[in-house]
Structure 1
Amino acid sequence: MMLQAQPPAAAQPPAQGPAPAAQPPAPHQPRTQPGYAGAGVGGYTSPIPVRPTHLGHALASEWTKIRSVRSTIWTLGVMLLLIVGIGLLGSIAAGSDREMDPLLGVGFVGVLLGSLCVITLGVLSISSEYSTGMIRTTLTACPSRMRVLTAKALVFFTLALVITTVATSLVALLDSAMLNGPAPTADQWLRATVGAGLYVALLGLLALAVGTLLRHSAGAISTMMGMVLLPMLLALFLQGESVKEIQRALIEYSVPSALATLYDIPFLSTGPSGWTPLWILAGVTAVVLGGAYAALAQRDV
């Protein structure tokens, strides 16, 4: 009788101790780089550099705005056409046969008409942002309202001053070359070129301040046009001895007469002379611009 062999028993694994508890995964540590924003939710690291903003950023923004819109090109282009074109036509019409004194006074009419274009651009520099709602984006990007208005004022004033001074200087050179008369003094040259450019640029800055206060393009432009033209129109209708002093004051301190004074052709000989009209306008502009700062800081957009 044969015995059946039993299969060998399966090998048993060696005895081990209790299994170790599972370790939680290590929290993800996002990488951050110096000068960059810290990690956000979910470990996101912003690629945008974190830098403190200053007035230079606001100036760059306002310069991009003012040179990118068509209203700047149109208004300044028409202003150049008026100042240079009317100045040239006046020199041709006057000719070299008769003597002109003062020699540079021919350019006054073109500068007066060109100033209306600068006034319009000054209002639109701020009021157009209110009409389109762009002012909300501007103040979100730059919460400092004082910085925004300062940047607008600096960019606009510099642009208006440079363009107007270049135009008035060109007209003065044309007058000197084409007209016959006594040579202008250094003070007359400065007042007919730099002085006229400063006066027109201050008018535009005053218009920007009025636009900030009114926040309405048509209303601010109408207000500025009335300030420039209305005193002279009122003076024409004020007749009689009882209102003679009022009539004279309206003429002496009107914008056309003040601008004519810079060219040594004042409407009345009793009014401000020399550089005085420029200082008067600078004081008025400073007061209105201060009111614009206060209004922009206090009221809602």
Structure 2
Amino acid sequence: MSSPQPPMPQTAAPEGQAAPGSAPPAPGEAYPAPGSAYPAPGSAYPASGSAYPGYTSPIPVVRTHLGHALASEWTKIRSVRSTMWTLGVFVLLVVGIGLLTGLVVAGQDAGLGEESPLGLGFFGLLLGSMCIMTLGVLTTASEYSTGMIRTTMVACPSRARVLAAKAVVFFLVAFVVTLVSAALVGFAHVAMLEGEAKAPSGEEWLKGTLGISFYLALLGTFSLAVGSIVRHSAGAITIMIGAVLAPLVIALFMFSSSLQDVQQALFEYSIPNQMSIFYANSLSESGPSGWDPLWIMLGVTAVALGGAFALLEKRDV
């Protein structure tokens, strides 16, 4: 029968190392600094910043604000290919159709008479509005399709700040691109039709460049809000295209005399007619005029954004 083995002697840990058998610190407690000994088993670990200070990150910790969200959204909108494609097609439509229309009118003997040449840019801007609406929807809805919205919300837990940053960045991009395109086409038309049409007044220049640019940027921001509400790119784009085309199409097929008031309202408040008001080419003699379309679109966009903010806070990402 073998005799019991004697217990192994306890050896002291080398200086600067943990004692054998010591447990790691509890959650929320700091590890001791390198080179310092662990406390004896059963004793409490020192709090961070005391005798054994915890690890300090070299990266400075700053309080995030809206500027950080704006920088993030600007990086995203300028780095994705959909932005370059949609804005590229937009510029091509506005400038290409605008110059083509100007060349056709310049080749005619009658000219424009007393009409402003700035109105020739309306056709390209009407088609280009589809690109602005598409980009507005993709700015929000595409992140739900790819799941990128989860990463965005982890990086910035304030959902309202994220949506506000998206809206601000998109609005500025859409406004600047539209303003440059509309102004370029306007200067080209004035140069091509010099002597064949009256020179635009200052107010006509203001409405034909700044006014229409604000309107299209708001229309795109309205699309952005719809994309945030629907959370589906194809569905939101379909809704926006229907909002542009449906009122005119429905009004064209209202032949009953009892529906004349409804037909007239659809004509007056349709998006194509409101855009044409900036060039004094309204489809009707009544209804919105002057700068009214801009205030109408501003109110509609504000309501849509309010709904998007409210739903964003209530729903899961």
**With structure 1 as the length reference, what TM-score do the two structures score?**
0.86
2:304 equivalent in structure 1: 288
| 1:46 match: secondary structure | coil
Residues 249-277 of structure 1: CA distance to partner in whole angstroms, max 9, x if unpaired?
A: 00000000000011110111112111111
Cα distance per residue 1:25-56 (max 9 Å; x no partner): 7894479xxxxxx78x9943323211110111
Q: 1: CA distance between counterparts of 2:13 and 2:233? A: 68
TM-score by length of 2: 0.82
What does residue 274 of structure 1 align with? 290
Q: Is the 8 A contact 2:153 2:159 kept in 1?
A: yes
1:240 deviates by 1.9
Q: Which residue identity is paired with 1:132? A: T
Whether the aligned pair in 2 keeps the contact of 1:195 and 1:262 (CA below 8 Å) is yes
In the alignment, structure 2 segments of 5+ residues that lack a partner are 1-11, 17-30, 36-47
Provide the rounded CA distance (Å) in 2 between the counterparts of 1:58 and 1:108.
Answer: 35
Say yes or no: does 1:241 pair with 2:253. Answer: no
Taking structure 1 as reference, are residues 165 and 46 closer, same or farther at Cα in structure 2, changes over 3 Å only? same
- How much is the aligned-residue C-alpha RMSD, in angstroms? 2.1
1:219 aligns to what?
A: 235
Partners in 2 of 1:103 and 1:118 — Cα distance?
24
Return the offset for 1:24.
Answer: 11
- Counterpart amino acid of 2:313? A
Residue 21 of structure 2 is matched in structure 1 by: none
1:51 equivalent to 2:62? Answer: yes
8 Å CA contact 1:195, 1:278 repeated in 2: yes
Partner of residue 104 from structure 1, selected from 99, 104, 118: 118
Q: Distance in 2 between matches of 1:98 and 1:92?
A: 13
Name the counterpart of 2:190: 176
3-state SS of 1:184 partner: coil
Q: 2:129 aligns with which of 115, 135, 140?
A: 115
Aligned to 1:15: none
Tell me which residue corresponds to 1:65: 76
Give yes or no for the alignment of 1:196 onto 2:212.
Answer: yes
**Higher alpha-carbon Rg:** 1
Aligned residues: 273
Distance of 1:258 and 1:56 partners within structure 2: 34
Pairwise CA distance, 1:102: 2.5
Aligned partner of residue 266 in structure 1, secondary structure: coil
Q: Distance in 1 between matches of 2:241 and 2:65?
A: 35
Contact 2:32 2:53 in 1 (8 A): no
2:96 matched residue in structure 1: 85
Q: Quote the Cα distance in structure 2 between the aligned partners of 1:131 and 1:285.
A: 23
Distance 1:77 1:140 in 2: 32
Q: Aligned-pair distance for 1:141?
A: 0.3
Q: Does 1:95 align with 2:106?
A: yes
Letter in 2 for 1:56: G
Which is helix-richer, 1 or 2?
1
| Cα distance in 1 between the residues matched to 2:34 and 2:229 | 49
Letter aligned with residue 102 of structure 2: S
CA–CA separation in structure 2 for the residues paired with 1:115 and 1:273: 20
Q: Given the alignment of the two structures, is residue 160 of structure 1 paired with residue 171 of structure 2, yes or no? A: no
Runs of 4+ in 1 over 6 A off after TM superposition: 22-27
Q: Percent identity?
A: 57
> Contact 1:30 / 1:45 at 8 angstroms: preserved in 2?
no
How far is the alpha carbon of 1:98 from its aligned partner? 2.5
Amino acid at match of 2:223: A
